[in-house]
Structure 1
């Protein structure tokens, strides 16, 4: 639904179909199931990112929960958004780890949170127009496509190969395709709240098939303690403190892309709740909360965070908009991270299962970039638009990197984004229709 934003920016009256408004507390009997829905909505995607990047899923759950609570504090408890692991950072984290090790990549990930904070400061002082002009749809759309398509070999490799021998395996490919089929079926045919967790259904189905195929070893689960401290990786404490300029240039600039996704999520959430969160409590507070959560995650060994569209979907269907429910989900996620048996169980999920799910998820990321170009009416019949999109796609998917010695490397995604921004600024014919005001649909007056 569209919100009727008042000229003074104040929140409009709540829609009549709201079950629980933002500041309303649920009853004790309803609180747990309502929060559990959000936990399940974010669970599959949040544990998939650390699984692919070599980080701890338990730490990701903890940093997701704490990061969400921190976000709620930064936004004065006025935005019911949940923060989970960001898919946009998968490839950069893998590349950064290869260059600077886990600690070096985590430092760079924490600095991506600093990018959020800097952008939040400029939005607070100068408004949002400068950011929208810097990152219009003609730049952001193809960059998002590059993020998804550059991950395609990762998904296919996990689906096709036995992780022990690194060789092709028909069994593993069969499990991956079965997982993919169930995930697609759940996406297409499930309704209501169940439609929001197709990834979880796919993982469960693939995991069950893997057990039948003898690919799962439960010995670690049986021997795992009920409660266990997550394997936090704190740069400078658990390992040498490494600062790599190359890793920073590969990972940190990706924040500029995820910030545009953040903008879109805030607009959708504003429409769902009947408010304008860009005005009150303000986009700068929302981005600040996201940045602080991401910086904290990096310093504890978790992947960068981002607001989750899955949880926005739960709010849209249930009409339960209470920030107390979101906070309850954050507490549950944090507690789950300290369950040793849960952590051990996650670690037993075969790579083929995650590969099957990833074949859909990474494609969806790429398709969302294409959808942005279509929805925002980017005219590829115009030479300047065609040039910008073409160059970004080839540089991003082709993995062009800029290296000046072993200590300085700009990754393909960061370089493609930078080149796209420059081309958009210098090529002639940049009119109002091409500027960034249409990264997201404006809230209707």
Structure 2
């Protein structure tokens, strides 16, 4: 494989004078998107940062320090987490995340034992592409509601904040260069936040209280107590009993999402392999990288954070900087953990007004849907073929329409809806309808010999 010019190789240790800034750059790149997930689901942003950093370090260990990948909050789990919290609170969502992490482990075991061919048969582009579209478009009403409504009523001032945030993020994505080109989401949030401050729709009470506690500290002990605050962890056997929140219905909501995120993970590994110039799908192996995702998600479920996944934003950082050091990635993970324990940062994140996040969400959720379409295009899936057209159409309507199926097995009630139901029916249709080869497109989605 052709090796590209690089500034720092995977195992190179950066100089101390540059290490902090290089790691901070990765933290900024993931910050906006990772914070958005807990913001939408009601989980503590500080815990999301800590679980992101902890998951990243665990991922580096599982992959033997051979893959420079940062992990952040997964967008695919937003709707399932919202449903789980509505049904059984945060403990139920964490139990569901735990089961999803186990599903990652099972898939990793199967790939390690039987290779990739079976994955291609179950998850061809004609299934994965439309399901990813469902993920993005299914969240569209949430983005619009956040952007323009307050307690269900239209607000012109809130909508102006959302539009400004959206436009700044778009302009940054298209025209900013260098370091600023890596953090357009964060820049959009900052500008939107400043404008919201001007309009007087930002609640700064928490920030003021935290800053007052810091400035009025009378001793070193009080100073550190004011700065470092214990986040609102939700820990099994401490804050809840896993056996009390577990239901098969919860498994039906959360576990099928792992099928989709595994397909996204494979795509990320292919892109990362091209950027770095090594075939990570072969070494250390796709089974190890998927297991790393699973372990990171398990860690998040033990802390009360959203499930983790590899982040495209950080792959972009690698592509531009050519700094591939896993020590830089690990440093970013440690910074994320540290920031999660700093109270004033948590208060600052919590104070971000809803329309700011709504403006960013309009773009991010649209990008998710567009990436599903791109998967179909890149793999040259023929939608002129009736079989492919039928599978895609059924997945889209069932997923976006949030179709629901309820059934009972031996007295146990099950409920499968939305994206999970769309993914399951898509897999079944692909397996039973004749002409499976047409759903593979050009067959490059899971290729592992050349990356």
Bin the TM-score by the shorter chain.
over 0.9
Change (3 A) 1:441 1:212: farther
What is the TM-score normalised by the length of structure 1? 0.94
Tell me, in whole angstroms, the C-alpha distance in 1 between the residues paired with 2:447 and 2:434: 25
Instruction: Tell me the residue number matched to 1:287.
Output: 290
**In the TM superposition, what is the alpha-carbon distance from 1:193 to its structure 2 partner?**
2.7
**In the TM superposition, what is the alpha-carbon distance from 1:247 to its structure 2 partner?**
2.0
Instruction: Tell me the residue number matched to 1:417.
Output: 423
Instruction: Tell me the residue number matched to 2:175.
Output: 189
Q: 2:261 aligns with which of 242, 258, 261?
A: 258
Correspondences of 1:18-97 after superposition (within 5 Å) = 18-97=6-85
Partner SS state of residue 438, structure 1: coil
Unaligned runs of 5+ in 1: 5-13
Kept in 1, the 8 Å contact 2:70–2:311? The answer is yes
Change (3 A) 1:343 1:295: same
Instruction: Tell me the residue number matched to 1:354.
Output: 357
Partner SS state of residue 409, structure 1: strand
Partner SS state of residue 237, structure 2: coil
Kept in 2, the 8 Å contact 1:99–1:246? The answer is no
Instruction: Tell me the residue number matched to 2:304.
Output: 301
Tell me, in whole angstroms, the C-alpha distance in 2 between the residues paired with 1:404 and 1:236: 31
C-alpha RMSD over aligned residues: 1.5
Kept in 2, the 8 Å contact 1:290–1:307? The answer is yes
CA deviations over 1:126-172 (Å, ceiling 9, x no partner): 1111112110000000000000001011111111112xx43221111
**In the TM superposition, what is the alpha-carbon distance from 1:244 to its structure 2 partner?**
2.3
Partner SS state of residue 260, structure 1: helix
Q: 1:172 aligns with which of 155, 158, 162?
A: 158
Q: 1:246 aligns with which of 244, 249, 252?
A: 249
Instruction: Tell me the residue number matched to 2:184.
Output: 198
**In the TM superposition, what is the alpha-carbon distance from 1:235 to its structure 2 partner?**
3.4
Tell me, in whole angstroms, the C-alpha distance in 1 between the residues paired with 2:405 and 2:347: 40
Kept in 2, the 8 Å contact 1:59–1:337? The answer is yes
Q: How many residue pairs align between the two structures? A: 431
Change (3 A) 1:383 1:339: same
Kept in 1, the 8 Å contact 2:120–2:446? The answer is no
Kept in 2, the 8 Å contact 1:105–1:248? The answer is no
Tell me, in whole angstroms, the C-alpha distance in 1 between the residues paired with 2:441 and 2:428: 13
Unaligned runs of 5+ in 2: 211-225
Instruction: Tell me the residue number matched to 2:379.
Output: 376
Tell me, in whole angstroms, the C-alpha distance in 2 between the residues paired with 1:93 and 1:330: 24
Instruction: Tell me the residue number matched to 2:329.
Output: 326
Q: 2:97 aligns with which of 109, 129, 133?
A: 109
**In the TM superposition, what is the alpha-carbon distance from 1:442 to its structure 2 partner?**
5.8
Partner SS state of residue 84, structure 1: strand
CA deviations over 1:304-343 (Å, ceiling 9, x no partner): 0000011111011000000000000000001000000000
Asked if residue 157 in structure 1 is aligned to residue 134 in structure 2, the reply is no
Tell me, in whole angstroms, the C-alpha distance in 1 between the residues paired with 2:385 and 2:48: 43
